[in-house]
Structure 1
Amino acid sequence: MRMTRLSNLTTSLLLFFLWLPDSQIFCKFVDWCVWDPCRSCLRRTRRDIFLAALVLGLLYLASTRTHGWPSVDHRRDSSAYAAIESHADTRVHQTLSAATSRSEIASTPTSLSNATTVCTHFVFRPSDPSTTKAAIDCFRARPIRVVRLFATDPQTTTLLSHKTARGFEMNLNRHRINITFPVDWHMNPFKDRSWRMWLHSLKDMIGPSLRAYEMHPENPSYLLLAKAFAMDWCGKFGHTRPTRWASLPPPWVGTAAFATREYIWYDMAVSSRAVLLMGLLHFGAHAGPEIMSEHEFAELATCQREQALFLAAQDTYFWTNHGLFADTALFLVSQSMPWIHPDGSNWTDVAAVRFAKNVGNLIDTASGVHKEHSVSYQGAMINLIALTDQLGLLNRTALGSDILVRMRQALGWMLTPDDAQPVPFVGDTSLEEFLNVAKPQHEDGLAPQSFPPVGLAIVKQLSTQSHLFMTAWFYSCTHKHADELSFVLTEFGRQLIVDPGKFAHVNTDPNRMYALSPQAHNGVTVDKSPYTACREFGKPYGSAIRLATTHDGFTIFAGDNPLLATHQRVHHTRILVYKPSKLLVVIDHLEPNDTETMHSYTRRFHYAENVALVKDANTSKSYNAYFGPKGDGADPELAAKVEDWSRTANQTRLSLVKARVKPALQGWIYPLLRKRVPAYVSEQTTPARGSIILVTAMKIARPAGLDRSPDPLPSAKLLKPVTWQRNIIGTPFYNIELQLDGIPFRMKVKP
């Protein structure tokens, strides 16, 4: 190191003295240090010495220059815009033949070990053209293959041309928008934070082009549009990587964290970008310099290094499902581009260690349930874990591929036997996010006993296509709804009781606030429960399911609601007594700390969009549910009859609501993202002081196509009011006596 600095100093001093226009200082230097006869010779050869020193100095500086971000002049068009103007359709077609033959040769499969050997003998430096060429050769030694971390929107494939420079339409996160160059990366036309994140992820800008080139390698012009987007983003933001935003507290403005508020460096966007840039560099190397020059490759590779450094850093890592995506992306970069950074080959171990620890936190290995409160994310995690299994990341952990089997079995329990639509809208779930999830086999009977400790209770009867799914779980605020003790119900292959779904990740939107609230779920609210953000819920309680068992052909679930006890000082225990295809009895025991205060308790059942509710003409304590073409269609078919079996039934006010906007949203579900669909909800409101037991019975009607008695409804009633008491050690238990189809049943339930 000292010799290097000395050499650098000597060269600089020599250049300084030789460069002076006035040679007097040089002559004095020569007079002082050189024997007199040689002075005239040295003066005559001063210019020769200067030229030699200049050449040596430049060579030295070129060989020792530290790598950095290539300068970008934002006052002129970047190479992304220049590419649009220079690659017109005629230019594209002129380069097809040469690039095609190159792609065919490069796509010959090569073993991963050989490719890795080629890639580990150098480190990429933007200032060194030889490392750029080596990186290109490394990619050309690998077969053409797209790795999809996230699904892309369907796109009309657009070739780069003069037309695209003037703007064109494309799908971005399920919205059709007009795009022009330079791209306005700060646009937010839908006031949707998820949309902004996916904009910066580049998945719908680069992904379709990579897919098109993978399917048609004879036409590398598909890559030009993807390259234009990547060059535009990298030229503006590639050098702005924050280093500690995950650990910085508010205020955000003025800190390194502020960039994430724009979702420029949001972790999921970075994971997506890293995989897409890797694919673009890979395919660009195959397509040749006519499609991606060495200079463009170096710029994008430098941008890619910033993405990888973000993913590798501990202070920008989140221990949620986002971290699993980050580890997968980092593993891919480390495996395919170990030359991107001196630590590039070590990132494989970094990703594997974090991934194993994070999976252990997020997924219950006994049941295979992903603990982020949503059916959609159970499916998404199955897809991600399956991808890591294919890539070899899962094999580097102690988890093993058995976890995939258990996760798929858990999803099989969660899905309903509804032939038309098997996805229950539990938690942050929407149909679009489930399109790319392979449907597992349905399970029959009571779900394994590993489910209640996670916060789920599920039973299925495939002979009648019946399904009951109850939740009471809280592990974090990730995709958490206030759905304690809520349930969904499917009978004879048709969803009857449903949860609301996701709407969108726009927490300030009234629809999102409603979807998260207890009023949107099938539980009990006390008084006028205001919307409460999850961060105010308190400490996560894990599971509140206390019982899941069978007795005399009935399935019995029980649990409590810790949030109600914490925030409103009311202890709530719910018991479901269920005979598939015949009867569901919902027992709610509410016991306030203050026995003198009058409270108002509201039970809600939310119905599928094709179900209509009609009050019973003979009594105000019951109503009928009908299946119709659109909920209110002609020739309705009886689905169920709901009765109030409570002692306080006469004091209960029954309301049937649909598509209400004011004073508060009610009677809406969100099966698709950002799409509000009207659906009926029943509200049974009962005022009471002190302890109260509310009993709601749903008699399930048999469909018209099945053999049945003249009355499609079963005969059912309570023989005695439901009572409760405590045993010697203070544990409560409930006495339930009912009659179904003339047969009495007696149960003592201890949650």
Structure 2
Amino acid sequence: MKPTYPIMELDAPSETVIPMQSLLVAPFAALTPAELISHFRQRDVDNYFPLSAGKAKHIASAAPILDNQFTLNNETHRLDDKFDWLHNPSPDLEWLILLHKFYYSRDLALAYDCSGDERYADKWVALVGSWIEQVPDGFVNSQVTGRRLQQWLLAYHYFVPGRHCSAITAEFLLALLGSIQSQAVFLSRNLTPQGNHRTIELYAIFAVALVFPELSQSAELLAFAQQELMANLRDDFLADGVQKELSTDYHHTVLKNFLRVRELADLNELTLPEAFDAIIRKALEFSIHAHKPDGWLPAINDGDINSYLSLLRKAQRYYPSNALSYVLSQGEQGMPPTQRSRLFADSGYCILRSDWAERPYVDNRYLFFDCGGLGFGSHGHYDLLSFEVAAYGRSLIVDPGRYTYHEHDCDGVNWRHAFKGTAAHNTIMVDGKDQMAYQCHEPVGPQPRAAVVSFESNQGFDFVHGRALSPQYEVEHQRSIFFAEAEYWIISDLLLAADAHRYEQFFHLGPEAQGQTELQEQGIRAPNLLIAQARRAEIETSLKPGWVSREYGVKQPAPVLSCSQECTGSGWFQTVLYPFKGDAPALRVAALSVTSLGQSVPATQALALSIRIQSETTTYHDCFFVAHQPGPSQHHFADVICRAQLVFIRRDAEGGILSVRAYAAEWLEIGGRKLLDSIGKPVCLNYAQGQLKIDAIDGSVPA
């Protein structure tokens, strides 16, 4: 078995009791043990977070722990009364890591708060005491120490201040304080070099120093933590506000710890630099846009499928904004963000969505496009140019999550690879290869690269064009996404190559689509979603079994649409994703021939589609054109002549033009009628409801 993290080489735990004179500062070092425990029981606790009250659910969660039964990462083991902390009963190292993080402290503490039953305190004291006796500082790695200190501080506040808990003796309190200080000092000398682990560790040092000013090392630890937290904050977030590991889940883990720093600083009347707040506000902007209309967050790269709205509510106390209020209230309060769709250029993340003001709020259409690299560290998946789609309160095309960090393959499958690999994402696999050679942990060797080529968010449409290159094959993948009338998406994929290759395109549906998805002539019909392509004999379409993991260690079956082709050289796909509410419309997609100067234009240069959408009340005839390589060429398709990167035209059932959208356009004729003549000056054109609007563009990717 390969462990998820390298286990540090450490000395055995010391059995020497730290003298009070070296553990505490004056005048506390001169107190007797009885006086000391009285001090900690009676002192004010206004320098720590407000405590929530225990509930019956915490008693239910804590009851198995009394019997040494631990359920961690959805895997349960019952340990002996005198179990060995260094022995792992699970084949997954993550289980042992969670045992040492002490998250179950919270259930024991809140169960005690709710019931007053001393058994919960006795158990916490027994677990902490045996851990101190058996385990050296830093076991497994530093971030585990950081997590454990956070949990011990929380439990301490339920068992000691304002309590007369018989399990908390003066001898135990001294051992606890000695271990807490020792672990905090260890952290200060063994910090993880970068990333979310370092943030967790620094926050733990900061919290220990503030909560226990009586400790002899607290003043030094506080000065150290303040300086390093600010440096780490600057290093941890990219200029666009996205955490550099490029995981939506870990972005919020880091944000949560920095928000705790802000709250503790306020409680202790510490002033933080203005730059601290400026970076946090940018991180919150990403969170505002990244949350789906239903409040959930896509699991991009490692992480579970979570909602962090509760974290945003806490953030609102310190960083109030109209946009935060709007998202938290689902549009009932505040004001919508100033941008409907948003590109986060440094991370390569792009979110396309319909009008924030739409009602009901959860009906908004939403697409998250991952046009970034693997990110710093080990949490990146091989998912360049993948995306997620949500609409009408449901996640329709999803990232399957992480499932596990463990490579144990007792059932013949390396599930870490299965969820991390390219085939587990909504992108294109070339020749059955991942976008880079698989590694369970941090990537080794050349990495795949991605970039946003162009982005435009305008009246009636959004358009983003990305490019990805892999060291595994000599194929350039270009993907453009056009969001038409804030209603549906057109995905254009171009695979540029000189040699023969097999290209396979994946669309991963949610578990709710299992058994509810029908393969049709042009694609599939799933709950609230149609996926269609123009008929092409060379494309093989099939539904395959897949998996989605919403939380660690749990996976659910979910269908996957696969579209594959074998090409001698370049290949292409063009796909319509049409979300719907209620009854599904009839959707027909057909390819349109494109010519230039009387010659047929290859698909690698430009593509055009006819899209017919017919519901019980409305019929639309849409026409879409995209040029993969913008330039001076003039193209002709259907009754349209254009010089543009893209053109979208919507007609009604009688052929009347309802809207026209064009980007990087210099010339446009429809049915012999000239709408635009701007040779040499690319513009963005919008025509709707009889109004024509033309805006200059500079072709740059906005920050």
Count of residue pairs brought into register by the alignment? 568
Tell me how far apart the structure 2 counterparts of residues 71 and 555 of structure 1 sit (CA, whole Å).
66
Contact 1:460–1:467 (CA under 8 A) maintained in structure 2: yes
| 1:391 lines up with 2:264 in the alignment | yes
Deviation at 1:144, TM superposition (A): 8.3
State the AA in 1 paired with 2:399: D
Aligned match of 2:291 in 390, 395, 415?
415
Deviation at 1:541, TM superposition (A): 8.0
| Equivalent residue number for residue 185 of structure 2 | 309
The two structures have a TM-score, normalised by structure 1, of 0.67
| Equivalent residue number for residue 43 of structure 1 | none
Contact 2:341–2:457 (CA under 8 A) maintained in structure 1: no
Aligned match of 1:520 in 403, 424, 429?
424
Equivalent residue runs for 1:683-698 within 5 Å: 683-698=562-577
| Equivalent residue number for residue 8 of structure 1 | none
| Equivalent residue number for residue 103 of structure 2 | 203
| Equivalent residue number for residue 207 of structure 2 | 332
Higher relative strand content: 2
Deviation at 1:288, TM superposition (A): 5.0
| 1:459 lines up with 2:352 in the alignment | yes
State the AA in 1 paired with 2:482: V
Tell me how far apart the structure 2 counterparts of residues 715 and 641 of structure 1 sit (CA, whole Å).
17
| Equivalent residue number for residue 591 of structure 1 | 496
Contact 1:319–1:358 (CA under 8 A) maintained in structure 2: yes
Contact 1:454–1:543 (CA under 8 A) maintained in structure 2: no
Contact 2:378–2:442 (CA under 8 A) maintained in structure 1: no
| 1:230 lines up with 2:128 in the alignment | yes
Contact 2:455–2:465 (CA under 8 A) maintained in structure 1: yes
Secondary structure of 2:200 counterpart: helix
Aligned match of 2:59 in 152, 156, 181?
156
| Equivalent residue number for residue 225 of structure 2 | 351
Tell me how far apart the structure 1 counterparts of residues 226 and 449 of structure 2 sit (CA, whole Å).
26
Tell me how far apart the structure 2 counterparts of residues 229 and 278 of structure 1 sit (CA, whole Å).
15
Deviation at 1:227, TM superposition (A): 0.5
Secondary structure of 1:378 counterpart: helix
| Equivalent residue number for residue 241 of structure 1 | 137
| Equivalent residue number for residue 193 of structure 1 | 93
Deviation at 1:320, TM superposition (A): 1.2
Tell me how far apart the structure 2 counterparts of residues 268 and 486 of structure 1 sit (CA, whole Å).
30
Higher relative helix content: 1
State the AA in 2 paired with 1:490: A
Tell me how far apart the structure 2 counterparts of residues 391 and 551 of structure 1 sit (CA, whole Å).
42
Secondary structure of 1:203 counterpart: coil
Deviation at 1:715, TM superposition (A): 3.3
| 1:298 lines up with 2:198 in the alignment | no
Taking every aligned residue pair, what percent have the same amino acid on both sides?
Answer: 18
Deviation at 1:445, TM superposition (A): 7.5
Aligned match of 2:389 in 473, 489, 494?
489
Aligned match of 1:529 in 433, 447, 450?
433
Deviation at 1:538, TM superposition (A): 4.3
Tell me how far apart the structure 1 counterparts of residues 220 and 148 of structure 2 sit (CA, whole Å).
21
State the AA in 2 paired with 1:550: S
Aligned match of 1:673 in 528, 531, 552?
552
Deviation at 1:685, TM superposition (A): 1.1
Secondary structure of 2:426 counterpart: coil
CA deviation string 1:10-61 (max 9, x = no partner)? xxxxxxxxxxxxxxxxxxxxxxxxxxxxxxxxxxxxxxxxxxxxxxxxxxxx
Tell me how far apart the structure 2 counterparts of residues 589 and 734 of structure 1 sit (CA, whole Å).
18
CA deviation string 1:572-614 (max 9, x = no partner)? 221111115533211122223xx2x211111111112223432
Secondary structure of 1:453 counterpart: coil
Q: Cα distance 1:603–1:277, how it changes in 2: closer, same or farther (>3 A)?
A: closer
**CA-based RMSD:** 4.0
Secondary structure of 2:296 counterpart: coil
Deviation at 1:333, TM superposition (A): 1.2
Deviation at 1:650, TM superposition (A): 2.2
Aligned match of 1:710 in 600, 604, 616?
616
| Equivalent residue number for residue 377 of structure 1 | 250
Q: Which has the larger radius of gyration?
A: 1
Contact 1:734–1:748 (CA under 8 A) maintained in structure 2: yes
Q: Cα distance 1:542–1:590, how it changes in 2: closer, same or farther (>3 A)?
A: closer
CA deviation string 1:341-370 (max 9, x = no partner)? 4x3311111111111111112223x54322
Tell me how far apart the structure 2 counterparts of residues 289 and 458 of structure 1 sit (CA, whole Å).
52
Tell me how far apart the structure 2 counterparts of residues 688 and 149 of structure 1 sit (CA, whole Å).
63
| Equivalent residue number for residue 577 of structure 1 | 482
| 1:544 lines up with 2:444 in the alignment | no
CA deviation string 1:554-587 (max 9, x = no partner)? 210111113x2x3312222211111155332111
Q: Cα distance 1:148–1:338, how it changes in 2: closer, same or farther (>3 A)?
A: same
Secondary structure of 1:573 counterpart: strand
Secondary structure of 1:296 counterpart: helix
Q: Cα distance 1:528–1:491, how it changes in 2: closer, same or farther (>3 A)?
A: same
| 1:642 lines up with 2:551 in the alignment | no
Tell me how far apart the structure 2 counterparts of residues 234 and 693 of structure 1 sit (CA, whole Å).
61
Tell me how far apart the structure 2 counterparts of residues 289 and 641 of structure 1 sit (CA, whole Å).
62
Equivalent residue runs for 1:559-578 within 5 Å: 559-562=466-469, 564=470, 566-578=471-483
| Equivalent residue number for residue 554 of structure 1 | 461
CA deviation string 1:236-267 (max 9, x = no partner)? 11xx336xxxxxxxxxxxxxxxxxxxxx3422
| Structure 1 unaligned residues grouped into runs of 5+ | 1-67, 73-117, 243-263, 628-637, 659-666
State the AA in 1 paired with 2:539: T
Deviation at 1:392, TM superposition (A): 0.4
Secondary structure of 1:482 counterpart: coil
Tell me how far apart the structure 1 counterparts of residues 183 and 204 of structure 2 sit (CA, whole Å).
10
Q: Cα distance 1:446–1:605, how it changes in 2: closer, same or farther (>3 A)?
A: farther
| Equivalent residue number for residue 194 of structure 2 | 319
CA deviation string 1:624-668 (max 9, x = no partner)? 3221xxxxxxxxxx63241147xxx3211112112xxxxxxxx21
Q: Cα distance 1:404–1:476, how it changes in 2: closer, same or farther (>3 A)?
A: closer
Tell me how far apart the structure 1 counterparts of residues 51 and 623 of structure 2 sit (CA, whole Å).
53
Q: Cα distance 1:702–1:410, how it changes in 2: closer, same or farther (>3 A)?
A: same
Deviation at 1:725, TM superposition (A): 5.8
Deviation at 1:234, TM superposition (A): 0.6
Tell me how far apart the structure 2 counterparts of residues 625 and 298 of structure 1 sit (CA, whole Å).
65
Deviation at 1:521, TM superposition (A): 0.7
State the AA in 1 paired with 2:460: G
Deviation at 1:414, TM superposition (A): 0.8
Contact 2:465–2:480 (CA under 8 A) maintained in structure 1: yes
Tell me how far apart the structure 2 counterparts of residues 120 and 508 of structure 1 sit (CA, whole Å).
49
Contact 2:467–2:478 (CA under 8 A) maintained in structure 1: yes
Q: Cα distance 1:190–1:438, how it changes in 2: closer, same or farther (>3 A)?
A: farther
| Structure 2 unaligned residues grouped into runs of 5+ | 1-12, 18-22, 314-323, 328-335, 586-612, 634-642, 666-698
Secondary structure of 1:586 counterpart: strand
Contact 2:466–2:479 (CA under 8 A) maintained in structure 1: yes
Equivalent residue runs for 1:597-746 within 5 Å: 597-611=499-513, 612-616=516-520, 619=521, 622-627=522-527, 639-644=529-534, 649-658=536-545, 667-704=546-583, 709-710=615-616, 714-718=620-624, 722=627, 724=629, 735-741=645-651, 743=657, 746=662
Equivalent residue runs for 1:12-31 within 5 Å: none
Equivalent residue runs for 1:35-74 within 5 Å: 69-71=14-16
Deviation at 1:435, TM superposition (A): 8.4
Tell me how far apart the structure 2 counterparts of residues 290 and 501 of structure 1 sit (CA, whole Å).
45
Farther off after superposition, 384-393 or 529-538: 529-538
Secondary structure of 2:197 counterpart: helix
Q: Cα distance 1:181–1:311, how it changes in 2: closer, same or farther (>3 A)?
A: same
